[in-house]
Amino acid sequence: MFAGLFFLSPVKRWINFSTDKKESADIKVISFNVKNGVMGKEELQKYLVGQEADVILLQEDGGGNFPMLKDYNKTDSKKGLTIFTKHKILNNKEIVLDENEILPAIQADIEIKGKVYRFVDVYLHPFKFEKDMITLTGNTDTNEQKMKDVIRRLIPTFKKHQKQADLIYQAVENSPYPVILGGDFNSVPNSYEYYHLSSGLEDAFLNAGKGSATSFHEYKFPIRIDYIFSSKSIRPVSYAVDRSVRLSDHYPVISQFHLGRK
């Protein structure tokens, strides 16, 4: 029994069956790594417009324009991360580790219904694995070399993630406002990145998700690397991975929140 309880929480970060929430939703948030829109920029924009979300967190957006989202306010980042919102943006900021590195996060303080919330859009450094790099063959020597190549990529990326996660955690910890943090963490739910960045926050999937949280479908095995977390004063009402669209190698992650909790 104790062993089952010990493993229950890690499993629920991948597969969960939460009960329906009684609270009404005040806002809808989408987090989506759009892979530079290479699978169809126009179709992507139509999808985002049709969702009618209050806040959209995009990763790998290519730094381009989204003319169909002209009615949204947005941050001015041109480095692959953008926050769109129907509401007023009071402040925005890039969270920079190194000017020569990929931008790991941006933040925007947004006024919603007379109260300010900090939204943090995350894109941790990618591992840049290609399918053939992790696909094993019948050749032992080839497989051994592939494993060595994977390890060579893992170690420096983990070091970058630790520094990036520390900076992002500070933006959350020092926020004078309730926080919603989402994005592509390039890390699984039992990782340092997950534990560190979710510290003091609630995983919307754990609270309101049903079924599988797998969000990256490029490989044949399930991977959850996209998340939405929130301060405890913001209650998740629903959480879904939208597998109805294939506009990227990621699925969009969608969550609704009730803001009235004290």
User: Around Cβ 255, how many Cβ atoms within 10 Å?
Assistant: 27
User: Residue holding tokens 């996660």?
Assistant: 165
Domain ranges of the chain: 16-249
* pLDDT of 18: 77
Q: What is the pLDDT of residue 215?
A: 94
The pLDDT score that the predictor gives to residue 129 is 47
Residue 197 in 3-state DSSP? helix
Q: What's residue 46's pLDDT?
A: 96
Residues (pLDDT < 50) of the chain are 1-8, 129, 131-134, 262
pLDDT score at 235: 95
Global pTM value: 0.86
Sequence-distant (6+) residues with CB within 8 A of 126 are 102, 157, 186
> Sign of torsion, CA 95 254 228 36?
negative
16-249 belongs to which CATH class? alpha beta
Does residue 243 contact residue 215 with C-beta atoms inside 8 Å?
no
For residue 37, the model assigns a pLDDT of 87
Q: pLDDT value at position 54?
A: 98
